[in-house]
Amino acid sequence: MSLQAPKDMAAERDAAKFDIEKLAHYWAGGEERYKHLQRAFKFMASDPELVMQPPRNILDTTRPEIREFTMGQIHRYAKVLQDPLYKNDSDFKEALFQALAMYSESFSMRIGVHTALFKNVLNMLGSDAQREQWLDDIENFRVIGCFAMTELGHSSALRDIETRATYDMATDEFVIESPSITATKWWIGMAGKTATHTMVIAQTYINGKHYGHNWFVVQLRDRETGELMPNIVAGDIGAKVGRSGLDNGWIQFRNVRTPRTNMMSRWVSLSRQGEYTPAPSPVVMYATLIPERIMLTVNCVGMVTQALTIATRYGVVRRQGHKNEQIMDYLSHYGKLVPAVAFMYMTHSACMTVNEQFKVLTAGGDMDPMTYLNHVGDMHAISACFKGYVGWFGSDILETCRRCCGGHAYSAYNAIGSLIDDWGVLTTGGGDNVVMLQQTTRILLHRLEQKLDMDEYPELQFKSSTHYFTKAKEYVAWSNWTVTNVEDCLKDLTLVEDALHCILLNSISNELKTGSTHNDLLLDEARAAELHGAAYMFSDAVSKFGSVNHADPALDKGVAGIMHRLTALWGVHVLHTFSDQGYKEGVLSPAQIKAIEKLYLKLCKELRYQVVGLTDAFGYPDFVLKAPIGKYDGDIYEPYFETVLNAPSSTGKPPYHAKYIQPLTTQGGK
Amino acid sequence: MSLQAPKDMAAERDAAKFDIEKLAHYWAGGEERYKHLQRAFKFMASDPELVMQPPRNILDTTRPEIREFTMGQIHRYAKVLQDPLYKNDSDFKEALFQALAMYSESFSMRIGVHTALFKNVLNMLGSDAQREQWLDDIENFRVIGCFAMTELGHSSALRDIETRATYDMATDEFVIESPSITATKWWIGMAGKTATHTMVIAQTYINGKHYGHNWFVVQLRDRETGELMPNIVAGDIGAKVGRSGLDNGWIQFRNVRTPRTNMMSRWVSLSRQGEYTPAPSPVVMYATLIPERIMLTVNCVGMVTQALTIATRYGVVRRQGHKNEQIMDYLSHYGKLVPAVAFMYMTHSACMTVNEQFKVLTAGGDMDPMTYLNHVGDMHAISACFKGYVGWFGSDILETCRRCCGGHAYSAYNAIGSLIDDWGVLTTGGGDNVVMLQQTTRILLHRLEQKLDMDEYPELQFKSSTHYFTKAKEYVAWSNWTVTNVEDCLKDLTLVEDALHCILLNSISNELKTGSTHNDLLLDEARAAELHGAAYMFSDAVSKFGSVNHADPALDKGVAGIMHRLTALWGVHVLHTFSDQGYKEGVLSPAQIKAIEKLYLKLCKELRYQVVGLTDAFGYPDFVLKAPIGKYDGDIYEPYFETVLNAPSSTGKPPYHAKYIQPLTTQGGK
């Protein structure tokens, strides 16, 4: 077995019909970025402050240990940023950040609240003067920030937030107050023990009048002593399911005072005399939530690709069954793992597109409010359904990976358990997924109501995710999918697009007709949004890889070829997954559905021998994956056994032998 | 909010259309057993060796702490068994065992390997003399046993087990040997640090000839000193995803000697001279695996009902949304939780039936081999698909419960995280679920091939789970479901049974016709087995509760009424879930599917206000549930906050402030 496994692994790599390294370059965002990432991996691998060195195992630590280690990583990372050797090497600094985030979800989220949340709100909602005041301190960690939105009694419903900010004109300050226990800010990353400052969202009252939400910087701790500031009560939230290295915390504000100038004022302003000028639209105040959702989606991709790499590698070296097959040869393995891998390539590609679109729209915070307002609904729709759809499907895939590793995923040392535990926050945090998906569908319904009677749909400058709505009337009139030989789809992927759009538009137009409440349609609405997201990914990939000949000429031919095959598989997968909806709407017949299923399983089987190459290209070194059963070389059993032997007190008598065992086993018997 | 929540909870209880306590009696197996259970809960609640007392929190312990605490529970439990006060009170002793198993999954499995595995193999496969030799020591914990089946390289494939037992006639002993690293016994509960003996399965060699598997008792540790016996190498498996209180371990046998008389010999025998008499069928050697599967299914019910109780209670006291609704009022909540609760009642009832059947068949180990062989295939089919189906659907429900509690399920203190972690072993351990389901379908396929051409099917004395196969020809000929008004099903639940059996028999008879390999049909086969299990549960419930008037007269009218409604919902749920299979087979039309869905959602809605009563009846005290957000009285926020405050070092500066935080925040800036 031990000899066979590495041979099996090598044979899988040989079977790849593309250059694995070239695909790895593509995945990393180009050969240059790939090389910087490799440099970063090499740099950190032997650094004991960045990567836990054997025999210590980061998958087997106590809460105090991992909290300290994670803050140590940030400390060390901050020092590297300031090191003259790297200070001006922004490629390396970015790569190191990425590499560390891959290695530790606790690091990723601990530093994420500081940069992607705290700093990003300042960047997008703060005035130039405010940015000038704070940015340098933030970037150098003289100020360590957190993001206080969620409250104990209120999560996704911002409207119900209880924390109040009342303007006191006498002192030119806001008074921040938590009026009840349910108003306690809760889950706030880094608030538990670390953050010196927080960006808090609160209901704003000026001269007794309510002006909705605003964002305020409030100091939490003394930068010298680390003690809490007066009238701040805060603490650590204790044991969580995952990300134990992050000090999630709670905060109560007992009439804390913060200067008027600490209210974020890019879009709103408040004069010394209490004259309040609101934002052009309240929508701009939540602009940071869109990149947060994309960031969470990208985080999902990072975690799921690690689990897939582990499960795939184990699947090709584990042998079992009547003919001692590689377990990957079972349909229950490849039929689940292959489409999951395709999904990751699709999500990765679509997130790049959406990120690009968002950058165009916001111009790094300097966006034109009107352009932004015209298109933000569309960005909201696509980012929300990505977060929901990828979050849910990703959960399923992690569970699939767990089951594909059999009992060995139950060992903490094979990493999948900790990925699942760390994952938890992604499906409920950053906007509950049900709510996210429902919001997307409401936008779709609204768009459909607006446009169904239009003969033409004006070309948008901004590329809308609902572009296919221009053909809504046609699709709804169509009603059934006319393809009789489903294999034709492989020659023309737009046939699949047609089917998906036809199913979606029929189902939401039928929803409009029922006259039922949104609540009665809630599950249908969530599903429609999932289909919108899945279909968007497909269309995005069709435009990039749909025709091998017309793909980006900069793309390697082998890479273009495999991406084309993954795109085709993805389209058929989505069609298969939503075929029940198609049947209910009268779009698909049982014969078509059976043919789709057959084609789908055939495409999965054809890609069975590509899985190792495809997951290799995600580019994770063994020390990032951490799982002995997911080792690159396939030689898994001895290192796994060694990991177990390295565990604290893995052998010898337990300390409780004399107290609890011996008294039983030495009782006088018959 | 704090004031509203308990009122909301009380209103939910008032809305129950049945006597909650009477339903609790039914669930517990009768009023007497309910009362014994309450006695046991009361006994243990304040006992610091059985239940961790505040401010310590069993959901926030280190591995050494919880391993010791769990062995302490067993020690204390063993003492109670021997206490003159309780020695003869078998009702109480059984109730205490049950109650402790509800409180701790680690206790449940730690003691489970000793009794349900080690002792049960002795009982079912050991001779009278062997039982006489060992039973008293086992029952009094002078011998602490474990069960050595799984190996590092081999799990569900017993055929490939490498451990060897070679008979040495010279000394009248077997030599037990682990010939390679992959032969290491792995995951063996209690082998890590505790067990004095193990029941090991090994390939048997006598006079150079291979005689298949046998079971052997081998001593692992000295009962006095706790040291390993000569030639035994064993240790603890370290950190796992769940059940940290259990010392799963690994064992290597380096030519260990064990007497010939330690080979289990109820069905096989070996003379001093090496003459081997095999079992009447190899099947009897695996008889213990059937009750193990039922036990795991019952364990699933225990864990899922706890999560459902927590999610339900939180769902009725949490308010959110535009009208400040109870979140339970959202379809995304009740539409998922109500059928899950129904599923638990169905599984609970069906497991009782199957357990009863197994008892009839095995007569406590004294079974007649021929009767057993005639019917064991059927027991195997139903127990295997229960384990697979309940294990998978149960995973989904736990995930649903997690999401229904939003972010608060991410706190370790709300217990759902630990239920999910502890759960992991159930889907892959005790027989991988894919393999389990596939085995069921193979039996179904075999039965169908045998019987399809028979006009009559002889009435079995033993009630077969495939009784509906008698009508196989009829169902297959039928092909489409003739019901036009789906609501008629509520008056006659056998209409739903017909639809389910028709879908299943058509789909497996079509599988037979395709000529595809089992592997190409693997996913279909797994699904068919799930439908078989789900339909069996439904038929079992229809026979018990299908007609309120004809239900068991001993049953309270209100209980009979709610069980009838749950049965109806369950049938429609299964039909809805497998409707895609129905249209693919041409059994259901789009109109029927839409009508089924409508009826299904209506039934869920009608039971929305019964959920608190239904979950109350599971009978878990707050200290067993452990989750502040699942508190019986609905007053959740303050106890939750208090739990967090009780966590070690929840407030104050972190020990690493001077090392990692202060150096950053006090750097000289601009």
- The answer to whether A494 is a known ligand-binding residue is no
Contact B428 A410 (CB under 8 A): yes
Q: Residues B499-503: what's their mean pLDDT?
A: 95
**Chain B closest-CA separation from residue A402 CA (Å):** 9
Number of structural domains chain B divides into: 2
pLDDT of res. B374:
79
Residue at which a domain ends, from A288, A322, A353: A288
Contacts of A599 in chain B (CB under 8 A): none
Distances (CA, A) of B139 to A313, B69, B128: 44, 21, 16
pLDDT in tens, A255-266: 999 999 999 999
d(CA A194, CA A247): 7
Per DSSP, which regions of A220-367 are E strands?
Answer: 232-236, 249-253, 256-259, 269-270, 276-277, 319-320, 325-326
Q: Which of A519, A523, A661 sits opposite B226 (nearest CB)?
A: A661
Phi, psi of B656 (to 5 degrees): -100, 15
Contacts of B427 in chain A (CB under 8 A): 402-403
Residue A383 pLDDT more than 60?
yes
Residue A29 lies in a domain: no
Q: How many CB pairs under 8 A join A and B?
A: 363
Contact A579 B579 (CB under 8 A): no
pLDDT interval class at B280 (50, 70, 90): confident
pLDDT of res. A377:
86
Contacts of A156 in chain B (CB under 8 A): 320, 406
Q: Which of B589, B644, B659 to mutate to test the interface with A (most CBs of A within 10 A)?
A: B644
Phi, psi of B76 (to 5 degrees): -65, -45
pLDDT of res. B498:
95
Residue B525 pLDDT more than 50?
yes
Residue at which a domain ends, from A575, A609, A643: A609
Residue B476 pLDDT more than 80?
yes
Residue B26 lies in a domain: no
pLDDT in tens, B388-415: 999 999 999 999 999 999 999 999 999 9
Q: Is cis: bond before A55, omega within 30 of 0? A: yes
Residue A183 lies in a domain: yes
pLDDT of res. A456:
43
pLDDT of res. B1:
45
pLDDT of res. B344:
98
**Chain B closest-CA separation from residue A395 CA (Å):** 9
Q: Quick check: helix, strand or coil at residue B27?
A: helix
d(CA A361, CA A13): 42
pLDDT of res. B470:
84
d(CA B534, CA B215): 34
Q: Which of B193, B241, B663 sits opposite A75 (nearest CB)?
A: B663
Q: Residues A203-226: what's their mean pLDDT?
A: 97
* Domain enclosing residue A163, as ranges: 144-288
Among A314-323, A481-490, B87-96, the range scoring the smallest mean pLDDT is A314-323
**Chain B closest-CA separation from residue A167 CA (Å):** 26
**Chain B closest-CA separation from residue A555 CA (Å):** 35
Q: Residues A388-394: what's their mean pLDDT?
A: 97
Quote the DSSP letter at residue A116.
I
Token representation of residue B388: 């697979």
Residue B454 pLDDT more than 50?
no
Contacts of A329 in chain B (CB under 8 A): 519
Token representation of residue B557: 């009218």
d(CA A92, CA A66): 26
- Within 10 angstroms of residue B453's Cβ, the number of other Cβ atoms is 8
> If you count DSSP H runs as helices and E runs as strands, how many of each does chain B have, helices first?
24, 13
Contacts of A422 in chain B (CB under 8 A): none
pLDDT in tens, B305-342: 999 999 999 999 999 887 889 999 999 999 999 999 99
Phi, psi of B650 (to 5 degrees): -70, -25
Among A610-614, B327-331, B348-352, B453-457, the range scoring the smallest mean pLDDT is B453-457
Residue A468 pLDDT more than 50?
yes
**Residue with token string 């610091």:** B48
pLDDT in tens, B227-246: 999 999 999 999 999 999 99
Residue B291 pLDDT more than 60?
yes
**Chain B closest-CA separation from residue A290 CA (Å):** 20
- The answer to whether A288 is a known ligand-binding residue is no
pLDDT of res. A451:
64
Contact B660 A68 (CB under 8 A): yes
Residue A180 lies in a domain: yes
Contact A28, A34 (CB under 8 A): yes
Contact B660 A74 (CB under 8 A): yes
pLDDT of res. A375:
82
| Burial class (CB within 10 angstroms; exposed 0-12, middle 13-18, buried 19+) of B596 | buried
Contact A157 B432 (CB under 8 A): no
Distances (CA, A) of A582 to A206, A470, A500: 53, 20, 8
**Chain B closest-CA separation from residue A428 CA (Å):** 5
Contacts of A320 in chain B (CB under 8 A): 154-157, 160
Contact B654 A160 (CB under 8 A): no
Distances (CA, A) of B500 to A92, B31, B446, B480, B592: 61, 35, 19, 11, 14
Residue A200 lies in a domain: yes
Q: Quick check: helix, strand or coil at residue B253?
A: strand
Q: Residues B132-154: what's their mean pLDDT?
A: 96
Residue at which a domain ends, from A272, A288, A304: A288
d(CA B246, CA B235): 13
Contact B523 A332 (CB under 8 A): yes
pLDDT of res. A670:
53
- Look up the CATH number of the domain holding residue B248: 2.40.110.10
**Chain A closest-CA separation from residue B353 CA (Å):** 29
- Look up the CATH number of the domain holding residue B594: 1.20.140
Contact B241 A411 (CB under 8 A): yes
Q: Which of A322, A331, A439 to mutate to test the interface with B (most CBs of B within 10 A)?
A: A331
Q: Which of B136, B247, B410 sits opposite A425 (nearest CB)?
A: B410
Residue A157 lies in a domain: yes
pLDDT interval class at A584 (50, 70, 90): very high
Contacts of A580 in chain B (CB under 8 A): 579-580, 583
pLDDT in tens, A446-467: 888 876 554 444 444 567 888 8
Contacts of B60 in chain A (CB under 8 A): 238-239
Distances (CA, A) of B315 to A181, A283, A298, A467, A470: 19, 30, 30, 38, 41
Residue B312 lies in a domain: no
Which residues of B does the annotation place in the binding site for FAD? Answer: 150, 189
Residue A536 CA, distance from chain mean position: 17
pLDDT in tens, A399-423: 999 999 999 999 999 999 999 999 9
The per-residue pLDDT of chain B, averaged, comes to 93
pLDDT in tens, A346-362: 999 999 999 988 888 87
Phi, psi of B496 (to 5 degrees): -70, -45
pLDDT in tens, B548-585: 777 788 899 999 999 999 999 999 999 999 999 999 99
Residues with Cβ within 8 Å of B155's Cβ and at least 6 positions away in sequence, in order, are: A320, A406, A407, B428, B432
pLDDT of res. A364:
66
Alpha-carbon dihedral angle through residues B534, B539, B541, B542, given to the nearest 10 degrees: 140
Contact A320 B520 (CB under 8 A): no
pLDDT above 90 covers what percent of chain A? 82
Contacts of A330 in chain B (CB under 8 A): 434, 519, 522
pLDDT of res. B552:
83
Q: Which of B160, B239, B644 sits opposite A238 (nearest CB)?
A: B644
pLDDT of res. B365:
65
Among A437-451, B139-153, B297-311, B492-506, the range scoring the smallest mean pLDDT is A437-451
Gap between the terminal Cα atoms of chain B: 47
**Residue with token string 């008027």:** A260
d(CA B561, CA B545): 8
Contacts of B599 in chain A (CB under 8 A): none
pLDDT of res. B460:
43
Q: Residues B598-614: what's their mean pLDDT?
A: 98
Which residues of B does the annotation place in the binding site? Answer: 150, 189
pLDDT of res. B596:
98
The per-residue pLDDT of chain A, averaged, comes to 93
Residue A609 pLDDT more than 90?
yes
pLDDT in tens, A160-169: 999 999 999 9
pLDDT interval class at B447 (50, 70, 90): confident
Mode of pairing for the β-strands spanning A197-206 and A164-168: parallel
Q: Quick check: helix, strand or coil at residue A69?
A: helix
d(CA A238, CA B647): 6
Among A614-623, B101-110, B457-466, the range scoring the smallest mean pLDDT is B457-466
Answer with the residue of higher pLDDT: B118 or B451: B118
pLDDT of res. A2:
55
Phi, psi of A287 (to 5 degrees): -55, -30
Residue B603 lies in a domain: yes
d(CA B302, CA B344): 9
